[in-house]
Amino acid sequence: MIIKQLLAFAAVVMLASLVVSVNGSNFAFYKLSLTWPNSVCKITTCKVPIPTYFTIHGLWPTLSTGKPVPPYDPVSNKCNRNPISPDNIVGELAPIRDKLDKKWPNLWLHKTNVDFWKIQWQHHGMCSDYPRDPLDYFRDTLDLAQSKRFDPFKALGVQPSDQTPHLLDTLLKNVKKNFGAYPQITCSMPKKGILLLKEIRFCLKRTKKTPPSVVQDCPTTFGDQCTNPLTDYVLLRATPTIFGLHNVTSDLLAST
């Protein structure tokens, strides 16, 4: 009898923990993810001209563990009540469409910018603190990404170069010094033995006010092809990488 009661209690506790997670109470911070196009693009697969500045990948609600908040699902993850669907955001974004096209483009040749924005809204915006306000979600992300405070070059303390690799640990420490918190840096490896800085992600605490503004250390400071900050040397290339054909879809949608 006692064993059955204990098992029943454990089941209730497990169910409660699942509900807490689904309802987003572990949603602790945002990641502002910025992409360096030269590290993910090939001329044969990316739109031209390739941007010569960091573009926006997204503003991602993130759990305290560093994992992304799961996408909205009306059954398994009803994180917000009746969020606007991806198909209904395009008209809402009309006032900032020109800015989005420039700063938040889809780099892949065979997808439109609108396709990219819909994916970002579906995967992240619907479970953010802006579920009924896509205009403010995208506009606030634009404002963060365009502010001097979140300038990747200033934070990294380096400029693009085709010849100068940088120790990943040095880049992370530069950002900690210049920005005030450790970022997450991800890399791509278009050719064996060559690591390219693909994205830099700044972490911002979730507060009652939007947009998020309080920076914090990212719980995971490197990822993708970057595996060891003490041995990995990373290039921030000044020109597009042309190591052969490479489908960038996986690069652009990684960690969406």
* pLDDT at residue 109, as a whole number: 83
Which residue segments constitute the domains of the chain, with CATH numbers given? 26-253 (3.90.730.10)
Task: Tell me the three state secondary structure of residue 176.
Answer: helix
246 has a pLDDT exceeding 90: no
pLDDT one-digit tens code per residue, 139-159: 999 999 999 999 999 999 999
> How many of the other CB atoms lie within 10 Å of CB of 21?
16
* Residue 49 preceded by cis peptide, ω within 30: yes
Residues 6+ away with beta carbon under 8 Å from 64: 26, 28, 29, 219
Q: Give dist(CA 108, CA 48) in Å, integer.
A: 10
Element (H, E) at 135: helix 134-146
- What pLDDT band is residue 241 in, cutting at 50, 70 and 90? low
- Cβ-proximal residues to 91 (8 Å cutoff; 6+ apart), any chain: none
pLDDT of the residue at 46:
86
